[in-house]
Structure 1
């Protein structure tokens, strides 16, 4: 392995707080994380992709299969509308919540520390994918592979409700890809076999060498910067808290460079602050598509309201403009339709555009709301912009001891470029809601389900301005500590699926069954009891081992992929906990 890749792996290892791992297993995690980071819109917790295999080595379990009976596939990531799917119930929830899924993506990864690309291994990798995607797989499957097979089949069964199903296959080594004819033939043969299944609207088989995986990893850490031609512009008048702003129109061919990466994939993360996600096929989007793909596409400049972009910084050099760390806050639907129809559009077609440079939270929030005021903005769509979320972000920052430090991520990937922050200490809004609901609202069976449903049912109750901030930190820190022990093999892998149930049991066992009001002063004392146990490595590990022993006693089938979604499990575990405590 070359020194640069090895150095990046070690940096990654520290950021994920992983120990006792071989270089080959670490490379699987490192490469899979770097690749999946390009697929997912949102920040994802490393706990969702790191676990343990059938042996004793650490292997990611959210996307990494590892171990025996893996059908020759190291990693599998499945997304629906940009959401990473790790449980069958999430698939059911998403289809119940959405009439149409605009995109399902299956990512398969094989990683080798070898400095050469091996044709036989490429062939075996392709055969493993074909077997995995078949109705009746012949190869023996471990529990992880079986679970993902069930998820994939559920998605394929609902293919009529999905606009596009995409397959991306990555074969990774530490060597150099030189388009060797024999290897290209092996890849084309594997692609043909997968394509014969008639599942995918789009299929890519990508050989990843040391240079490419290094670039993928670096892209996950640096600010997004893009330069395009923008001659048709006027400088807007000076505005307080706005560095500069321009109004004009841009050629579609140039705009595509802003919304797509070098591989032609849509940069979904740039729409995070848009409030509304892509809405799929509807009359408005159909109308945009009709205009773009017709001989009347030149009318777009007068028919479309245009797009609004906010950037941290913009630089003008003659007729070009460079955007640094930018977000498209209005124009998500237009951007998606341009992306989907890029091959049909005249690149000389013009699109109205407004570009604003500001780092001020207040003005950015006002711009986002103003540019999305055509229709009612729902409360849940503004969650990341609320004063409550800003206050929670500041509260997390008040913990100064390194051991106790966590970082609340109010905006997607806001800490990704901070090399001084361990990624596992970042708490997203999703992670916060899941941990809080599991620990303090006694609904751990809901925490592992589709986030959209959890948010709809519990966000108003959970994110309450009157609540004491400590309850949020307490639940998130307990989850961080629990995931740390799973990640570093201190706790058995098969109990990770019960993590939100363990949080609930932790509160009852350490804090006590009677919980103070969330807005009372006494809730701080209650949470402090839990935190003091979590801050102590020996006590926290002993506590989690004790709670796991209760699960082991109470649950008959630990391998069941559906047990954690059943509400009845909550009462069973709490009854067993109470029973065991009474005997002590």
Structure 2
């Protein structure tokens, strides 16, 4: 059987399993050799060589498989790592991810808050659950699917209490699946569009999948489609060929854009572009939307809101005035632009304004017949050539988005201090991901990439002594201006920020490499271990980032020190749990445990001087 995706809808006639969409017509042909398996294994070996601290081969494959399974969703390295389960009682799932309108849900997501008001989200918001199973073996087994099916039946039953689920599955599994369960409940009155994916990845050959596995897969996709009336389900198998093809595909930031008429002045262009040509500009080689060209846009797609419905109506209504009369148009920035006949060639392109229009055009027209009248309508596109001048590009982004209501937090990445941190990191072999996944997409090692949220968490934990905030507020840590200004300040030297990034990465790598550390412990304790390590290096509690300046110049954290710090935090957590009766995750998210840690007497830390 070829690599395939099974689909099912909860309120429609089930498609026969044999109607799975084939990724590659030639996949069913006999294969004399499996070069893709050799190449895939080489990729895994190279990735392991890039790690400062080795991790178990099975866990490395799980990370890799989850990354490839959700490749089109453009998750960051940290978002992927956070969703990997690991350990026992995983229910047959190695990765679990919940997404709302293509944004990863975390424990502090707005939709999960106790005071959440459902009307804040548009009707028919897109809620997705991704369940990933990764096996390093060279085959696909029916037993693996049976286990996933049995677990999904319980985990997706909203009448099952979390307390009961915790008796059967690890806390990591229950907490990850609860993000989806809680979001589904919270959005019930908004009639969300629900999609459940099950992706089974191995080093096997999908054309060799036997009939029993096929039947079990069909049963599973029907089961998943029944999670709620109207839900859609997909079951996908990824073997060595498919995994290799995904990892080998590199997003292109060079694009061609055909136009009808244009005006050029200096480094700016204004062009009228037919919608058929703009759809081509938005499409990847496989026909999917190139989401990565919107990474600098400060908004996410809002889905089926009134403004997008109006855009869709004006696209399809050929009797209405010209579409570009009714729409503000698109703003694109790029490093260079040239024209050949009636075509622009644009390098390092980003759509910085007009995301709602772009998504709506793509959704309405990407699958219509070539003769559809709407394809000959036009949209106005502004092309601004900023070269390598990042400051100018950031000013454009801020200016074009200040004209409408945008939360200040959405524009953080364009701040001067963020650009300075990126430049300093780059000069020292590190990559600060102001533009989500940009460095990974151009082939940089994830071991050297750090995102804005992760650096903020490191500063909050080590520099401000609040690891509870780092643990409890992963996505909202910088939403408040006062928090942002404390974390990112001109008074903090750039080398201190680099030291914080390197230290947190080293701590995370250490926790991943220690087989005694469970996935839940990594999630709960990583920032508390960081706080304790920083305190022992400095010799006192750290409550201001400036206290780390001399440490950043003179000291590093060795793995031996981290073992000791981990045991200190573990013992303190056990003692605190006995006294309070709280669960480990509640302890990690609360300020009382931080006060408890701060009250303990620690011996000074013998720092590794890098020799």
Q: Deviations over 1:255-298 (max 9, x none)?
A: 23433546665443322212233345554334223323445466
Partner of 1:347, secondary structure, is helix
Find the counterpart in structure 1 of residue 94 from structure 2: 74
Find the counterpart in structure 1 of residue 596 from structure 2: 572
CA contact (8 A) 1:28 1:111 kept: yes
Partner of 2:504, secondary structure, is helix
Cα 1:169–1:251 change in 2 (3 A) is: farther
CA contact (8 A) 1:233 1:246 kept: no
Find the counterpart in structure 1 of residue 224 from structure 2: 194
Find the counterpart in structure 1 of residue 43 from structure 2: 8
Partner of 1:442, secondary structure, is coil
Find the counterpart in structure 2 of residue 492 from structure 1: 517
Find the aligned partners of 1:516 and 1:123 in 2 and give their Cα distance: 51
Cα 1:510–1:173 change in 2 (3 A) is: closer
Find the counterpart in structure 2 of residue 532 from structure 1: 555
CA contact (8 A) 1:64 1:76 kept: yes
TM-score by length of 2: 0.78
CA contact (8 A) 1:94 1:450 kept: no
CA contact (8 A) 1:491 1:545 kept: no
CA contact (8 A) 1:71 1:128 kept: yes
1:167 aligns with 2:196: yes
Q: CA RMSD of the aligned region, Å? A: 3.5
Q: Pick from 441, 455, 467: which aligns with 2:478?
A: 455
CA contact (8 A) 1:511 1:527 kept: no
Deviates more, 1:387-396 or 1:158-167: 158-167
CA contact (8 A) 1:16 1:423 kept: no
Deviates more, 1:209-218 or 1:318-327: 318-327
Q: Pick from 366, 375, 378: which aligns with 1:350?
A: 378
Deviates more, 1:193-202 or 1:310-319: 310-319
Q: Pick from 26, 29, 37: which aligns with 2:63?
A: 29
Partner of 1:207, secondary structure, is strand
Cα 1:213–1:559 change in 2 (3 A) is: farther
Find the aligned partners of 2:83 and 2:543 in 1 and give their Cα distance: 39
After TM superposition, give the deviation of residue 186 of structure 1 in Å.
4.8
CA contact (8 A) 2:97 2:130 kept: yes
Cα 1:126–1:323 change in 2 (3 A) is: farther
CA contact (8 A) 2:274 2:375 kept: yes
1:371 aligns with 2:395: no
Q: Deviations over 1:360-405 (max 9, x none)?
A: 2133223323433423665433322222112222333454xxxxx6
Q: Pick from 77, 90, 99: which aligns with 1:44?
A: 77
Deviates more, 1:447-456 or 1:111-120: 111-120
Find the counterpart in structure 1 of residue 180 from structure 2: 152
Find the aligned partners of 1:162 and 1:135 in 2 and give their Cα distance: 16
1:341 aligns with 2:341: no
Q: Pick from 100, 109, 116: which aligns with 2:121?
A: 100
Partner of 1:71, secondary structure, is coil
Find the aligned partners of 2:435 and 2:463 in 1 and give their Cα distance: 24
CA contact (8 A) 1:506 1:547 kept: no
Q: Deviations over 1:237-267 (max 9, x none)?
A: 333xxxxx54323333332343354666544
CA contact (8 A) 1:292 1:300 kept: yes
Paired residues in the alignment total 547
Partner of 2:534, secondary structure, is helix
Find the aligned partners of 1:86 and 1:368 in 2 and give their Cα distance: 27
Gaps of 5+ in 1: 51-61, 240-244, 400-404
CA contact (8 A) 1:40 1:84 kept: no
Find the counterpart in structure 2 of residue 53 from structure 1: none
1:474 aligns with 2:484: no
After TM superposition, give the deviation of residue 146 of structure 1 in Å.
1.7
Find the counterpart in structure 2 of residue 444 from structure 1: 467
Find the aligned partners of 1:90 and 1:475 in 2 and give their Cα distance: 28
CA contact (8 A) 2:261 2:271 kept: yes
1:413 aligns with 2:434: no
Cα 1:323–1:559 change in 2 (3 A) is: farther
Q: Deviations over 1:64-90 (max 9, x none)?
A: 334443222232122234443354777
Cα 1:570–1:559 change in 2 (3 A) is: same
Find the aligned partners of 1:563 and 1:514 in 2 and give their Cα distance: 20
Find the counterpart in structure 2 of residue 275 from structure 1: 298
CA contact (8 A) 1:147 1:561 kept: no
Find the aligned partners of 1:359 and 1:95 in 2 and give their Cα distance: 44
Q: Pick from 413, 435, 458: which aligns with 1:384?
A: 413
CA contact (8 A) 2:254 2:346 kept: yes
Deviates more, 1:357-366 or 1:87-96: 87-96
Q: Deviations over 1:280-336 (max 9, x none)?
A: 555433422332344546632211111122234556555555544421111012123
Partner of 2:221, secondary structure, is helix
Q: Deviations over 1:471-494 (max 9, x none)?
A: 423332321121011111176235
Partner of 1:390, secondary structure, is helix
Deviates more, 1:379-388 or 1:368-377: 368-377
Q: Pick from 433, 449, 469: which aligns with 2:456?
A: 433
Find the aligned partners of 2:137 and 2:52 in 1 and give their Cα distance: 25
After TM superposition, give the deviation of residue 208 of structure 1 in Å.
2.1
Find the aligned partners of 1:65 and 1:372 in 2 and give their Cα distance: 38
CA contact (8 A) 2:112 2:183 kept: no
1:249 aligns with 2:279: no
After TM superposition, give the deviation of residue 135 of structure 1 in Å.
2.9
Cα 1:512–1:91 change in 2 (3 A) is: farther
After TM superposition, give the deviation of residue 431 of structure 1 in Å.
0.8
